[in-house]
Amino acid sequence: MSKNLVLTIVGHQGYIRHENEKEFALQNDILFGSIVQTYLPMLNMFHRLENEGVDFKLAMVFSPSLCALLDDEMVKEQFVRWLEKRIALGEREVVRLSGKDDLLENAKTCLQKAKKDLIDFTQVYSRNLLKEFACFAEKGKLELLSTCGTYAFLPHYGDMTEILNAQVEVGLYSHRHYFGSNPDGFYLPFMGYTPGIEKVLRSYGFRYTIVDVRTMLFSDSLPENGIFSPVRCDLDTNTSLSQASLALFCQDADTPDDITGENGFASAPVYKNQGKDVAFDLPAEDLIKAGFIEDGMARFPSYFRYWNKDDEGVYKQSDALAQVQKDADSFLRCKNEKLSEAEKCMKSGEPSLLCVIDAKQLGQDWAEGIDWLEAVLRKAAAFEIKLSAISPLIGNQFSLQKIVPYPGAAQGNSYGEDLLDSSNGWMIRYTRKMCERMIDLSDRFPNETGLKVRLLNLGAKELMIAQSAEWAKMIHDGYFPEYATERFKEAIESFMIVFDALGSNTVSTEWLTKLEREHAIFPWMNFRMFSRKK
């Protein structure tokens, strides 16, 4: 009997795109930092494993807003210039640190990586990272899941079926657009489950989703195998979905804390200190001379980091990589023990454990995260653990135990309350009113053409941008809260201009064209996705 381990990496990025890269350097760095710390190293890791004949399987989620940015030519050009600035700074760092052997070694390593990132992005992967991930999916190494159009927290719109349909449909269309396939699984943002979403997912052909442990274990019927086997949602037998079924997988609740919790692997003193960057230590004059920033421009990370977490000790890569191997062993040993105990209790079937990992944890929060992931993939077989995708574990969907899931989420204290609290609760009334108006507009103008269609499609995009739960999360976490507030208000204002223009039958084509260029997400958007299904 196999013990199955499913590693699911979730990549998401709020739609942060600005032509003025100087004014928004810090905000652009959110994406650029994820590329050099997570996505490029991950692709390089996949190629290493493939070349060495190491069998591996992962599940991955790419949010449509992340895909739109990774596929945007303007963003790619900005990223290349960003890399070139880092390389120029690195060249000066190597000169500055001459004679300081430990620091110099780190500077050279960082510079070498920056140069390799530029070559990998422009030459090896031809500026098309999504295509590379799609290739590994075609080879059966990755299972790609779809998710909501703009990572909306669906429980906030559980009573608006049209909004649920639109978010799911845009996510599905985006997946087909970027990856050329129909996914089996749908990832609920923040694993936010609300009753009724299962019917929407099945209506679009999805076979399974992933839920939080409380959503599974607090259900009316206790799952016989706990979190170690999939179950199925009990759909309404009075609908056309009575012959369909949606499988539910439950995440391992311990995994996030295992990695970046207070005592998680990432807290080891030998690992790189991600909070101490030379770009914030050097005098501004040095950064300006290096061409890294311009006079009066905000500083942004350089990723030249020379210190570990042990009271600002100098970072030693060899020590960190040795610790990575120990932490990979510890992780696999823990999961193996959990699966072995589950195997003893299960009456039938093979135990499986699904570990959901935020892509941000691998590389960004934890500099050695991708090295750790590679070690886990290489060592799994030695622990008699089978790495698996998700779909093969479903088997006969109609043989799975039926349950009625409990509403919940893997956010806040399991109910997503930090996405609707005193810091950001003011936002929801605007998005819900926009939802009501968008549904009304799609019904009032079903057969429009020309300029009105452009207006309606723009309104739909602005609504979806405003619905992104990323803004509420940034405000709650204190992570660029002023920017998130401003970005949200811009979407509201743009939608209102669209709404008023349709009511008065007048529009500034200059304004419309400018905003279409600035918000290039979903060029295939069709406002009719928000129509009431008849």
pTM value is: 0.94
d(CA 429, CA 431): 6
d(CA 442, CA 527): 6
Contact (CB, 8 A) for 15 and 69: yes
For 402, counting Cβ atoms within 10 Å of its Cβ (0-12 exposed, 13-18 middle, 19+ buried), the class is: middle
Contact (CB, 8 A) for 484 and 30: no
pLDDT tens digits, 371-414: 999 999 999 999 999 999 999 999 888 889 999 999 999 998 88
d(CA 143, CA 175): 12
DSSP lists the bridge partners of residue 60 as: 9, 144
Spatial CB neighbours of 60, under 8 Å, sequence gap ≥ 6: 8, 9, 10, 11, 133, 142, 143, 144, 145
Contact (CB, 8 A) for 315 and 268: no
d(CA 197, CA 158): 7
Spatial CB neighbours of 353, under 8 Å, sequence gap ≥ 6: 3, 4, 5, 6, 227, 228, 252, 335, 338, 339, 342
Most distant CA atoms of the chain, gap in Å: 77
Spatial CB neighbours of 397, under 8 Å, sequence gap ≥ 6: 207, 232, 245, 247
Cα dihedral 87, 93, 94, 100 sign: negative
Tens of pLDDT, residue by residue, the chain (534 residues): 689 999 999 999 999 998 888 888 889 999 999 999 999 999 999 999 999 999 999 999 999 999 999 999 999 999 999 999 999 999 999 999 998 888 999 999 999 999 999 999 999 999 999 999 999 999 999 999 999 999 999 999 999 999 999 999 999 999 999 999 999 999 999 999 999 999 999 999 999 999 999 999 999 888 999 999 999 987 655 554 445 689 999 999 999 999 998 899 999 999 999 999 999 999 999 999 988 998 888 899 999 999 999 877 999 999 999 999 999 999 999 999 999 999 988 877 899 999 999 999 999 999 999 999 999 999 999 999 999 999 999 988 888 999 999 999 999 888 999 999 999 999 999 999 999 999 999 998 887 778 889 999 999 999 999 999 999 999 999 999 999 999 999 999 999 999 999 888 887 888 889 888 888 899 889 999 998 876
d(CA 259, CA 265): 5
pLDDT tens digits, 263-280: 999 999 999 999 999 999
DSSP 3-state percent helix, strand, coil across the chain (nearest 5)? 55, 10, 35
Spatial CB neighbours of 445, under 8 Å, sequence gap ≥ 6: 452, 456, 502, 527
Spatial CB neighbours of 133, under 8 Å, sequence gap ≥ 6: 43, 60, 62, 142, 144, 179
d(CA 13, CA 496): 25
